Amino acid sequence: MKFQKLTPNFSVRDVKETVEFYRDILGFNLEMSVPVGTSKIENEISNSREYAYAMMSRDEVYVMFLKDSNFEEDIPVLQGLPQGASVSFYIDVEGLEDVYKKIKWSR
Query: Is the model's pLDDT at 79 over the cut of 70?
Result: yes
The domains of the chain, with CATH numbers, are 2-105 (3.10.180)
Q: How far apart are CA 9 and CA 53, in angstroms?
A: 9
Radius of gyration of the chain (CA): 16
- Where are any strands of DSSP class E within 1-107? 2-12, 29-35, 51-58, 61-67, 87-94
pTM above 0.85, yes or no: no
Confidence of residue 9 (pLDDT cuts 50, 70, 90): confident
